Structure 1
Amino acid sequence: MLITNRFSELKTCCVALSIIAVTAASAVADSGEDFFEEKIRPVLIKRCYSCHSEASQSSEGGLTLDARSGWQDGGDSGTAIVPGDIDGSLLITAIRYDDENLQMPPDQALSEREIADFEHWVRLGAPDPRTEAVRLVNADVPSDPVRGREHWAFLPLSDQPLPAVTDTQWPLTTIDHFTLKELEDRELHPVDDADRRTLLRRVSILLTGLPPTLEEMESFLSDDRSDAYERQVDRFLSSFHFGERWGRHWLDLARYADSNGLDENFLFREAWRYRNWVISAINDDLSYDRFLRLQIAGDLLPYESIEQRDEQRIAAGFLVMGPKVLLGNNPANQRMEVADEQIDTIGRAVLGQTLGCARCHDHKFDPVPTRDYYALAGILSSTEVMEQRYMLGQQRVMEQLIGLGDEGAQLDDEYEAYWREREALKDRRQRATEILELLKAGKLEEFAARVDRDDLVIAEVAKDTEAAIEQRITAQQEMVTEFDRLWNSPPSIPPRAMSPTERSEPADEHIRIAGQFDKLGDQVPRGFLQVLTNSEVSIPAEQSGRLELANWLTNTESGAGNLAARVLANRIWYHLMGRGLVRTVDNFGRTGETPTHPELLDHLANLLIDSGWSTKSLIKKIVMSHTFVLSSSHDNSAHAIDPENELLWRAHRRRLDPESLRDAMLLSGEQLDLNPMDSTVWYLGDQATAVGANTNRRRTDFPCRSVYLPVIRNDLPEIFEAFDFTDPHAATGMRPKTLVAKQGLFMLNEESVINIAEKTATALLANETLSDDRQRLDYLYELILNQTPADADRDHLLTFLNDFKEHAAPTSPEQPRSPEQQAWSMVCQALFASSRFQVLE
């Protein structure tokens, strides 16, 4: 707690916090210790430690508050708390502001909720679980999970009252109070709101990944109802395209791909089922806690129908999706590598933590000791995500596939058995043919000599020496024909999904010395991160612990749920606003950045939890805020104080991602098929890239939305490579952002861009409602840019069109394109290549 500089108030403040009596009870209940960790210590850290802790090297009034012994030893004054006695405790008097000479914190009172928490704590006997041993832990050891709880990301969520602002008319939502307060504290004010065209384009692309159509724009511009904007937001949130857009954000984190990548880039033929499940789950606004639970332990959850069972298994494909080294990998090493990849993914995607750093040693920056890493590794290494399957002529360890439907397991077994036994079938067919030739040649003695050895490939009638030779030949011919049929008619690939299962014998893992799989250290019980765990972990010996892990991740009674809420709220803010409140969206650790608006971040996280973990609810609250609808206009005075716009005095400009860029071009040319797709890799061989005898290469000519295009690791679509698509090998919450020459060259020279421009021009010229070039140009601006052209732009382009049509020659007879067609194609391509198209204001 902050204290004033005046000596008398300093003395009074120290009296209030100097000594905590510890004789209230001989033993403190676990519930009391948990209460201290969740409610009391966070307030002490936030409001007291700057003046009363060893870490800050400050002990004003001789008092330190970051260890129990500091409270017990006291400072320069007397007793502050009488355990169990609220009215007799000076601490409670001070935080209530009951005495004008004893008010703490002196700068701003605690909230009513915080005061009530301190009162309850005193009634419990002021329990403080921090022992002397904890107090003496070296503060320079970053992996200490107890000290680590003081890091901002691991604190319980605060519940602060809305900040008071001067311009009370500006806030439209609770969010705006937090942003405006920060601006007013620096004597700044937000810029004006975005115009309606800019706003509709912005919210349409951010929520659906598609620009508004001409009809949608016209409808919005002519709607003068007070809730016109909210109606558009609701329409976008209920659109199927919302799931395609926001599902892609999660697929980045899930390291989604249609192939394994790495050493042998085998096809993930069934990955599309997980992709489409994510899109459907986002559209259904599946609560985030359920969303996570299904992906980590969906195969373990109860179900009421085969359809529900299959959906849950498909969701759990999240654990199988990662890249794996398949060739020449020791099975024990592979098991640990797979677990490491899963730990790293869950850590980054859900908790914003770099947990993989603790595989070889205690984390060098964050409170994650190696024991915690292997506590998680025991859970995931007790999970099976690989299986032996027949592939390219031999048995290989591949991603695990589970049969779907009523007969899924049986059909899967039959399919694998066929390919496992195919070489044997070839041998049987050959021997049956040889037997047939012996019968046809009348070589009955040789036939008789082979009956015992080849009994299984000889027809029963063919063995009958009493039957006519013609009957025997016919019977054997039928057997050969059946073998031919089996050889030429392999079973269809049954409906399957990538999904994990429990290992037959779950087990705790040993620490691996220096991370080496074959150098075992101590065995560690399966469990979770100590820095986010307040109670004992109980995992049944016969289970992996995945279900408990899934529940723990969003349990708001533990620190994990609060952290998960902060991380998700920040991700949503990042995707909508162009920059996270924590700019390092995948790293909430000590090497990441601190929040620019910590109170707002906690407010968003609380909104998320209170809504039942509804992502749509939080998205709507943000896009309905005044902060969201600001223009991106420049303001010299604000820029001088806040050049990076951390205070949100304007909207951040951002470039379209490659998916939105491609989809918008196809939509302009009336080439985009808005129907969802299943697999877009069905035509590929088992090896996803064109190597060896496999000459097929992934296609990008599908007119579908870009979220459905093949994501082949090491062979992404060209537009993805050029415009900073995610790295599908790892969980990525923030894609790289580059501005390089090859992107401009791509838009000017890429054949697909040229083709779309030509088709857009063709559709434009075929529009009979447009009678002249001026109308066509205005229409094209509306279609591609959602704007009307400035007079100077219109005049410049009309001059270009006239000059080009006058001097250009028709193209070849094989592909006749008139000068007019050529000119308009170039105008379309120029607009596609412009910053007005590629940059979202």
Structure 2
Amino acid sequence: MRQTVRNLFLFFLVSVLIGQAGCGGREQEMGPREGFPDQVSYNFHIRPILSDNCFACHGPDADARKAGLRLDIEEEAFKALAENPGSFALVPGKPHQSEVYLRVKSNDERQVMPPPETNLRLTAREIQLIKTWIEDGAVYEKHWAFEIPRYPELPVVHTSNWPVNEIDYFILKKQEEQGYRPNEAADKEMLLKRVSFDLTGLPPGMDLMDKFASDTSSGAYEEVVDFLMAQPSFGERMAVYWMDVSRYADSYGYQLDNFRTQWPWRDWVIHAFNKNLSYKDFITWQLAGDLLENPSKEQILATGFNRNHKITEEGAVDEEEYRVTYVSDRVNTVGKALTGITFECAACHDHKYDPISQQEYYELFSFFNSVDELRTSKTPIDPTVGTPASYAKKPFLEITDEDVEDVLSFVNKTDSSRLIVSVMGDLDTLRKNYVLERGVFNAYGKEVFPATPESIFPFDPGYPKNRLGLAMWLFSERNPLTARVAVNQIWKEFFGRGIVNTTGDFGMQGELPSHPELLDWLALDFRENGWDVKRLVKQLVMSATYRQSATIRKEMRTADPENKYYTRSSRAHLKAEFIRDMVLASSGLLVPTIGGRSVKPYQPEGLWEAATAGGSTLAEYEQDHGDDLYRRGLYTFVKRTVPPPSMLIFDASNRDQCETERSTTNTPLQALVMMNDPTVLEAARVLATQLLREAHSDRDRIRKAFRLILCRQPKAKELRLLEDYFGRKLAEMSETKAEALVAIGESPRPQPAEMVHVAALMQVISTLYNTEEAITKS
């Protein structure tokens, strides 16, 4: 009897475990509508499941397709199964007759989908979503990103006194649906710091802090926003994000990684943002400025965008192989940066997830395939100057002193050396274009002609079949992607996460938009108001959503950990370039010259040399001196094989390829940079010397340093702690130790009589630079 009871107990236990996990790890089916949306959407609920688990074998790629079944197209999914004509993958309204549902819920390892060897498995919720969707008719929808955006109505919200502009209605509506509420507004000091870094990449000056603090008028904040957007530093700030998108660097990449001169193009980008060139012209000129009617030198210079890719200078390479690589880079950059589609996945085969065929990839390839680029040795150096500032690849644009005095006045050309930039220019006789089988550069398949993916929208036969026609296609009112992608990228720059958080992927594998109606509203408003970038930026920073405090309420830490609903401001650290700018600006070291050649600040000795092949024009690191040591981070020389180390540690791009977003990390190496970087230590010394000479007491010096670095008044406790720390450092500071500390950096050093006091105060300032708050915008 006891044995029987024991066996029954074991049977019950095993039954419970199987019921929980199912045979082979399958999860128990949920109740009919438990915890479900009112209506299961193919776009927002079903397609992501199929894309993650099914499309690799049953999606757009014909070569990888199994059992002849395609689930990404409605007509194909409803057909009788090729291997079992009596069965159907989907039977609308009848999940128990639909092989898709039967297979995903099966406990039989021979039948279950996805197969066990893929290590993929659907959750009980996902299985129930599929069942409910089939019960509701298995209605397919065009991928949301390929639908033409339409103006949504402004949502009705309960807290009607919170919204400042249209953005806030959409944000608040989502919050209220979740039972959330927005944060309180940030205090004036923190708001000013945030908006100053966001609009200029620089901390606010003391005068601006004092003025804003004392201005109690209702228009005070808008006045600050207008002031900051009018500064030349606005263009520098916006250019940082575009350098990542455009993969700008000061070297060619690959093994030799020689010097190149593309910085005049960077000067143009700064100029374009400052003069508020429309986004339409900003992109059109970069893609096809040389193809415009009677193009100006400025419009031709803008095409340097498409020559920023890596270029090999190694010997014994196949020229055609690398030329094809360059053309592919341009296609991939347009895809990721301008349409948010991973075109590169279709270079070797039909895209496995998005409806982009390999043929369509090479039709896009055709727009860029006739550039007149033959790899040549270095352009001859000006014998009178001997500077490598003339290194560029054909086709190129020469910028003369006369140009700089006239049409290219924004180019910061400071010497008389020959200055040339790689730009775009097509051959007189266009190349033929072919599908490259398996992506191999000389495996020619079917001949193709310039065209665009049908799934986005067909190329208008009235457009010229060149890069200018491609630009016209991008900015057509029928294009569903360009405006959405643009506003989403800029949104992420200011809010820390995108409405579509995968800014470079609006396809099936990208994240779904958290606020699709807001994205469409912004996209249409942007387009219908002349693609006005400054207007868009002002809308973002004027919103109540943007002005929220960064404080994380206890309940929201769990409810909205990723801040998907924008219940607070972002607390991510500053971009790497802006951390450098903050240090230089707060100390008074920053040289605010706009544009010009890239500069080489302090860098660990031997770093370049250890990673450089022989024969490179950049074999040795020749550090700059004087004012060039104190330029903004935007102007730091980027060598692709050895990017600036301190910036790389703070997540800067290595510029190998187009990047629309940077990772955000927190590592011990970042702390080590702030503690040991010569620029930070020198800035602390320079600021300490300045404060010693202008302030009357140590308390005033510490308070001013606190405000310059953290952009707010110190609390009494903070001030007391820093004073105590300074007192200890001053008491223990010897002349020998002080002399070693003040010797860091090349700027003028303090007088001998000041040395001990400066060294002690330097320790306090260094501590401030090493706080988390110093490198965070909120």
Per the alignment, residue 579 of structure 1 pairs with 497
Which residue of 1 is the match for residue 246 of structure 2? 254
Aligned in 2, Cα 1:56/1:348: closer, same or farther, shift over 3 Å? farther
Tell me whether 1:787 sits opposite 2:717 in the alignment: no
1:724 aligns with 2:627: no
Q: Do 1:375 and 1:508's aligned partners in 2 also have CA atoms closer than 8 Å?
A: no
Partner of 2:703 in structure 1? 778
Q: 3-state SS of the aligned residue for 2:513?
A: coil
Tell me how far 1:293 sits from its aligned partner.
Answer: 0.7
Give the Cα separation in 1 of the matches to 2:573 and 2:665: 10
Does residue 1:810 correspond to 2:735, yes or no? yes
The match for 2:758 among 796, 821, 828 is: 821
Amino acid at match of 1:626: A
Task: Give, in angstroms, the shift of residue 386 of structure 1.
Answer: 4.0
| Letter paired with 1:165 | V
Contact 1:313 1:497 in 2 (8 A): no
Pairwise CA distance, 1:690: 8.6
| C-alpha contact (below 8 Å) 1:149/1:155 kept by paired residues | no
Paired position in structure 2 for 1:351: 339
The one-letter code of the counterpart of 1:599 is E
Q: Is the 1:781–1:787 contact (alpha carbons within 8 Å) kept by the matching residues of 2?
A: yes
Looking at structure 1, the residues matched to 485 and 758 of structure 2 have their Cα atoms a distance apart, in angstroms, of: 50
Q: Secondary structure at the match of 1:502?
A: coil
Do structure 1's residue 324 and structure 2's residue 311 form an aligned pair? yes
Residues 389-428 of structure 1: matches in 2 within 5 Å? 389-390=377-378, 398-404=393-399
Q: Which amino acid aligns with 2:469?
A: E
Match status 1:300 vs 2:291: yes
Match of 2:434 among 507, 510, 513: 510
| Aligned partner (choices 149, 159, 165) of residue 157 of structure 2 | 165
Distance 1:406 1:675 in 2: 19
Shift of 1:252: 0.9
Aligned to 2:583: 665
Q: State the 1:610 CA deviation.
A: 1.5
Do the aligned residues in 1 keep the contact of 2:451 with 2:458 (CA within 8 Å)? no
**Amino acid in structure 2 at the alignment position of 1:831:** L
* Per-residue Cα deviation, 1:613-656 (whole angstroms, up to 9, x for no partner): 01111111111111110001122233332222211111121101
Match of 1:184 in 2: 176
Amino acid at match of 2:734: A
Q: Secondary structure at the match of 2:376?
A: strand
For the pair 1:309 / 2:230, whether they are aligned, the reply is no
Within 2, Cα distance between the matches of 1:639 and 1:679?
A: 45
Matched ranges for 1:255-270 at <5 A: 255-269=247-261
Inter-partner Cα distance in structure 1 for 2:726 and 2:229: 40
For residues 483 and 363 of structure 2, what CA distance do their matches in structure 1 show?
A: 23
Q: 1:678 to 1:250 in 2, by over 3 A?
A: same
Partner of 1:371: 359
Query: What residue number does 2:664 align with?
Result: 737
Give the superposition deviation at 1:59: 4.0
Which position in structure 2 is the counterpart of 1:283?
A: 274
Note if 1:553 corresponds to 2:474: yes
State the Cα distance separating 1:404 from its structure 2 match: 3.8
Which string of whole-angstrom CA distances, capped at 9 and with x for unpartnered residues, describes residues 115-154 of structure 1?
xxxxxxxxxxxxxxxxxxxxxxxxxxxxxxxx99811111
Is the 8 Å Cα contact of residues 698 and 712 (structure 1) preserved in structure 2? Answer: no
Q: Does 1:635 align with 2:553?
A: yes
1:623–1:397 CA distance, 2 compared to 1 (3 A): closer
Aligned length: 608
Q: Residues of 1 paired with 2:350 and 2:459: CA distance?
A: 22
**Secondary structure in structure 2 of the residue aligned to 1:168:** coil
| Per-residue CA distance 1:455-499 (angstroms, 9 max, x = gap) | xxxxxxxxxxxxxxxxxxxxxxxxxxxxxxxxxxxx975332211
Residues 689 and 309 of structure 1: CA distance in aligned 2, closer, same or farther (over 3 Å): farther
* TM-superposed deviation, 1:371: 0.7
Retained in 1: the 8 A contact 2:434–2:446?
yes
Q: Could you tell me whether the CA contact under 8 Å between 1:387 and 1:400 is conserved in 2?
A: no
Return the TM-score normalized by structure 1.
0.68
Q: Distance in 2 between matches of 1:180 and 1:294?
A: 38
Question: Could you tell me which residue of structure 2 aligns to residue 756 of structure 1?
Answer: 683
Q: Partner of 1:655: helix, strand, or coil?
A: coil
Amino acid at match of 1:840: K
> Matched residues in 1 for 2:656 and 2:553: separation?
41
Output the amino acid matched with 2:726: L
The CA deviation string for residues 717-773 of structure 1, in whole angstroms up to 9 with x for no partner, is 232122111121111111121111111111112222211111111111111xx2211
The SS at the match of 1:527 is coil
Say if 1:258 and 1:201 are closer, same or farther in 2 by CA, change over 3 A.
Answer: same
Q: How does 1:353-502 map to 2 (within 5 A)?
A: 353-390=341-378, 398-404=393-399, 493-502=417-426
Contact 1:379 / 1:508 at 8 angstroms: preserved in 2?
no
Residues 366/654 of structure 1: CA separation in 2 closer, same or farther (3 Å cut):
same
Q: 2:481 corresponds to which residue?
A: 563
Secondary structure in 1 aligned to 2:455?
helix
Opposite residue 558 of structure 2, the aligned amino acid is A
Cα 1:512–1:495, aligned 2, differ >3 Å: closer, same or farther? Answer: same
Q: Residue 670 of structure 1 aligns to which amino acid in structure 2?
A: G
Give the structure-2-normalised TM-score: 0.74
Distance 1:706 1:595 in 2: 32
Deviations 1:495-546 (A, max 9, x none): 3221111112113411111111121111112111221224553566xxx611
Aligned to 2:723: 798
- Are the counterparts in 1 of residues 707 and 713 from structure 2 also a CA contact under 8 Å? yes
Q: Report the alpha carbon displacement of residue 793 of structure 1 after superposing the two structures with TM.
A: 1.7
Shift of 1:807: 2.4
Name the aligned partner's letter for residue 217 of structure 2: R
Aligned to 2:538: 620
8 Å contact kept, 2:256–2:613: no
Give the Cα–Cα distance (whole angstroms) in 2 for the partners of residues 615 and 357 of structure 1.
Answer: 31
Instruction: Indicate the SS of the match to 1:315.
Output: helix
Note the C-alpha offset of 1:800: 1.5
Q: 1:283 to 1:397 in 2, by over 3 A?
A: closer
The 3 A distance-change label for structure 1 pair 392 and 286 is closer
d(CA) in 1 for partners of 2:635, 2:402: 28
Q: C-alpha separation between the residues in 2 aligned to 1:598 and 1:620? A: 21
Indicate how the Cα distance of structure 1 residues 620 and 531 shifts in structure 2: closer, same or farther if over 3 A, else same: same
> Which is greater in Rg?
1
